[in-house]
Amino acid sequence: MVAIVLPSCTDNQRAKRFGGTMEYQVPKGEEFVNATWKDNNLWVITKNQTTGTFYMHEVSDYGVMQGNVVITP
C-alpha cells in the first residue's frame, strides 16, 4: 500500500505529512525570512536585500496555481 500511495503524493505532501524532504531555492538577491503551511501549500517569505521589499511565494501542491504577494516598504 505504501508503495502505491507515496509515489502519487507531491513533494509538499510527502514533506508535510510523512516527514519527507522538499527543497525551495530562495531567489537570487533575496534572503529567507519565514515559511508556513496553508493546507498542502508552502508559503515562503523572502526580503529583497537591496529594496527591502518583502515577497510571499506560494509553492503549491501540484504547481498549477502559485501565488505571489509583494509587500513594499
Domain limits of the chain? 25-73
pLDDT, mean of residues 43-68? 88
Distance separating alpha carbons of residues 9 and 47, to the nearest angstrom = 30
Mean pLDDT of 22-47: 90
Confidence of residue 73 (pLDDT cuts 50, 70, 90): confident
Query: Model pTM?
Result: 0.73
Which position has the higher pLDDT, 19 or 24?
24
Q: What is the rounded CA–CA span in Å between residue 70 and residue 47?
A: 10
**Mean predicted confidence (pLDDT) in 21-49:** 90
pLDDT of 46 reads 97
